[in-house]
Structure 1
Amino acid sequence: MAERDEELIGDMARAGIAPEVTRAALAFDAVLQRWRRRVRTRELGHRALDELGLPLDLAQLDVMIAIHAPANEFADDPAEETMVSTVAQRLNIDPSRASRIVTDLIGRGLAARATSRADARRSIVTLTPSGQAMVEAVRRYKFLLLGGFLSDWTPDERETLLPLLERFSHWSESGATADEAGLEDRIARLRDELAQHLATL
């Protein structure tokens, strides 16, 4: 396995990426892949629902949180009122799926429809007191665990992590194309070599 990484490091060096940068990228990728696998299984969400005894699935919880719109997640969302389309946008899901889940939550007494104060023709969605209590309990559970974990970190460690994590989280949104990065020819060659290999199978 290490030999394969060394081959990759050599390939990247020939593309103009320094070996120490590629080694850092390999380390980042390993951490992210392990994190992705844990996030995909939604360990924390399942634990919260289980330990708090909430009769919800994760999709319902996600919609309830999108209706609640906590500031740390949705502070950049200018919407003062939440419609089904707002929920869909916040969660990046299909509006019809958002509508089905909202309807189910309404049927269970966890959400309610109301008339917009800004436009009487528009229907908005709110949480009922029961729905609000569930969301607040889950958020308290989450930050008890996360806060407990970060309590062992020094202030410098916490202050260093957040801006770097925020910066790294936008790497795929940087807008830089392969051509702008001077890698278009390398990627085209890689594509051609792969096509030739696959053609022999």
Structure 2
Amino acid sequence: MTQPPVKPTYNGKTYRDIVDEHLRNSRVPAGAGEALVMLDQTLFQMSRQVLKGDLVAAFLRQEDCGLEPAVFQGLAAVVRVANGVGRPAPAQPTVGSLAEELSIDPSRASRIAAALIEKGYVRRAAAQDDGRKSVLEITARGGALLQAFFRFKWQRLVGIFEDWSEEEITTFSRLLGRYAGSLTPTGGGGT
């Protein structure tokens, strides 16, 4: 005999009890509750796909380049650091900045850098401001792999939105940006 699924409770309340309580005590329009619950589920699914690296894994299977998703993320992180993406300014990528960018410990970042160097996607070079300091530079092979990834990613992205109107795409982009911006501590939302 199969058991019915168990609804987990938190201090005697289900997830939905907690959600409904917060909705009742908010200024969110009464009819928007279900839409917010669906949004929460969709965002969870999206974050799982991002964390699992579904897009990156599919690309790496197609390219057969000998990199694991975590190591490929290291290659992308080197480019983000060098170009100042999400940072106040561009910086010379080091193992330390790679660890910071990927939110991993320095020993793991060092192993990722070593794997990228071994495969020829990155090389070590002397820092311009201090020849004793080692920095990471993307090689032509690494640049070509990233360009192939950008083509792969944009082919998928464009395919998703081909049937959307200009207004739908613009509104979706604006609202998602507004939502993401409110999650940051300076945006008023916090986590």
Give the TM-score normalised by the residue count of structure 2: 0.76
CA 96–27 in structure 1, closer or farther in 2 if over 3 Å, else same:
same
Aligned to 1:78: 89
Does 1:12 find its partner at 2:22?
yes
Q: Provide Cα deviations, 1:152-198, integer angstroms capped at 9, x if missing partner.
A: 322212221222112212444346699xxxxxxxxxxxxxxxxxxxx
Q: Structure 2 CA distance, aligned partners of 1:163 and 1:109?
A: 39
Percent identity over the alignment is: 27
Structure with higher Rg: it is 1
Does 1:33 find its partner at 2:54?
no
Q: Structure 2 CA distance, aligned partners of 1:12 and 1:68?
A: 41
Aligned-partner residue type, residue 141 of structure 1: F
Report SS of the residue matched to 1:117: coil
Report SS of the residue matched to 2:132: coil
Map 1:19-168 to 2 at 5 A. Answer: 19-69=30-80, 74=85, 76-168=87-179
Q: Structure 2 CA distance, aligned partners of 1:115 and 1:72?
A: 18
Q: Provide Cα deviations, 1:66-106, integer angstroms capped at 9, x if missing partner.
A: 11229998154512421112222222222221111101221
CA 71–11 in structure 1, closer or farther in 2 if over 3 Å, else same:
same
Give the TM-score normalised by the residue count of structure 1: 0.73
State the 1:114 CA deviation. Answer: 0.4
Note the residue ranges of structure 2 that are not aligned, 5 or more in a row.
1-6, 8-13
Q: Structure 1 CA distance, aligned partners of 2:115 and 2:21?
A: 53
Q: Provide Cα deviations, 1:35-86, integer angstroms capped at 9, x if missing partner.
A: 2333333221111011122211001100111112299981545124211122
Which contiguous aligned blocks of 4+ residues in structure 1 show a shift greater than 3 angstroms? 4-10, 70-73, 174-178
